[in-house]
Amino acid sequence: MRLAGKVALITGGASGFGAEIARRFVGEGASVVILDLNGEGALKVASEIGNARGLRGDVTLRADVDEAVQFTVKTFGRLDIAVNNAGWTHRNKPLLEVTEQEFDRIYAINVKSIFHMVHAVAPLMSRQGGGSVINIGSTAGIRPRPGLTWYNASKGAVNLGSKSLAVELAPLKIKVNCVAPVMGETGLLEAFMGLADTPENRAKFIATIPLGRLARPADVANACVYLASDEAEFLTGIVLPVDGGRTV
């Protein structure tokens, strides 16, 4: 029970990495609120994993993020861990074909959401004596793939922003770390590849990962459990690649 007594708010937790992070957190003793635009999905995951609540909300809207933080504190009494997992990408295509609407959505979901969350949780965590923020970045912000330029840039902002946040929030005893997965087995896989999800197309991308497979939700969840636990109490500003060697 590595997270016993801790309370976490996880965005984008209705599916993929976020759902598994929520599941593992509850399994390790945490109380969890899942925030997702897919409110029905958030409620479903929460009902399946035990000590959790689901909530519909848009991470690009400050009012929705504030409401989620207030709901978490009202429900469980405090907030120790915020996991900024919600993310989106345009389909893999030449950069000049990406529309302004797609660009704006990428930055609103991947980057601005973290701005909103930090503003919402930092004063609260400071009053509690500290806390942990975990951002889900990407190897795309370390070793970018072609066809995803604006997504790559947004994740570069998440990776580097996590380091800067760590330095600024350290005096408040708030740790900020980042998990950077390689392409994963989630609903966004086809968009990342820009191809149909067939065994042949997967093989082309798996060939670039030394350990020979895509990231799985459990891989990301395991990293988040560690960074959220007291075992990582002296770690902040870390960008942890969960990538099977892709960024080596």
Whole-number average pLDDT of the chain:
95
Taking residues 178-188, report their average pLDDT: 83
Q: In this structure, are residues 36 and 18 in contact, taking their beta carbons and an 8 Å threshold?
A: yes
pLDDT per position as a tens digit, 39-56: 999 999 999 999 999 999
Comparing CA positions, the residue from 86, 168, 99 lying closest to residue 134 is 86
99, HSE (Cβ side, Cα atoms, 13 Å):
4
């087995």: which residue's tokens?
Answer: 185
> How many other CB atoms sit within 10 Å of the CB of residue 147?
18
Catalytic residues: 151
pLDDT per position as a tens digit, 126-163: 999 999 999 999 999 999 988 999 999 999 999 999 99
Instruction: Please tell me the distance from the alpha carbon of residue 240 to that of residue 212, in angstroms, as a whole number.
Output: 19
Q: In this structure, are residues 113 and 136 in contact, taking their beta carbons and an 8 Å threshold?
A: no
pLDDT per position as a tens digit, 86-130: 999 998 899 999 999 999 999 999 999 999 999 999 999 999 999
pTM metric for this prediction: 0.94
Give the pLDDT confidence score for residue 188 in this predicted structure: 67
Token reading at 26: 């509850």
Lowest mean pLDDT among 76-85, 158-167, 183-192, 211-220: 183-192
CATH 3.40.109.40 fits 7-186+216-242, yes or no: no
Give the pLDDT confidence score for residue 187 in this predicted structure: 67
| CA angle centred on 85, ends 82 and 90, rounded to 5° | 150
The residue extents of the domains of the chain are: 7-186+216-242
Instruction: Please tell me the distance from the alpha carbon of residue 180 to that of residue 211, in angstroms, as a whole number.
Output: 16
Is the pLDDT score of 195 beyond 70?
A: no
Helix, strand, coil % over all residues of the chain, rounded to 5: 50, 15, 35
